[in-house]
Chains A and B, each alone.
Chain A
Amino acid sequence: MDRIMQEKVCSLVLAKILQELSAYYCQPGNRVYSYKRFYESTIRSLFNISYRTYMRDIRKKLPETNSLNLVHDVIEQYMVSRVFQRIDRFHFKRDELYVFSEMRTNDYPPSMWLYGRYYGTQSGAVVVGDLSRADGIILQQEGPLPVGYVYVRLASRQELADFMERQRNLSRTRVRAVEDMVLME
Chain B
Amino acid sequence: MTMRVEGYDFKVGELYLFSSDSPECLAEKCLWGIYDTTERGRVKLEVATRDLRMFTVNQLLDRGYHFVRPSTREELRDFCFNYGFFA
Contact = CB atoms under 8 A, between A and B. Distances in A.
A158 to B, nearest CB: 10
Interface string A11-44: 0000000000000000000000000000000000
Interface stretch (A47-55, A65-73, A105-113, A161-169): A161-169
Interface stretch (B2-10, B18-26, B37-45, B79-87): B79-87
A160 B87 contact: no
B34 A168 contact: yes
A168 B76 contact: no
A130 B73 contact: no
Contacts of A130: 84
Contacts of B83: 164, 167, 171
- Chain A interface: which size bin? 10 to 19
A171 B14 contact: no
B53 interface: no
B17 interface: no
B87 A161 contact: no
A160 B14 CA distance: 11
A61 interface: no
A160 B83 CA distance: 13
A109 to B, nearest CB: 25
A168 B46 contact: yes
A157 B76 contact: yes
B14 A161 contact: yes
Interface string B69-83: 000010011011101
A117 interface: yes
B37 to A, nearest CB: 15
Contacts of B73: 2, 156-157, 160
A183 to B, nearest CB: 19
A117 B34 CA distance: 21
- Nearest 10 pairs of A and B residues by beta carbon: A164-B80, A157-B73, A167-B84, A160-B76, A160-B77, A171-B87, A95-B81, A165-B13, A160-B80, A97-B77
Interface of A: 2, 95-97, 117, 130, 156-157, 160-161, 163-165, 167-168, 171
Given A2-B73, A117-B81, 6 more contacts: A96-B77, A97-B80, A157-B73, A160-B76, A160-B77, A161-B13
25 contacts: A2-B73, A95-B77, A95-B81, A96-B77, A117-B81, A130-B84, A156-B73, A160-B73, A160-B76, A160-B77, A160-B80, A161-B13, A161-B14, A163-B80, A164-B15, A164-B76, A164-B79, A164-B80, A164-B83, A165-B13, A167-B80, A167-B83, A167-B84, A168-B13, A168-B34
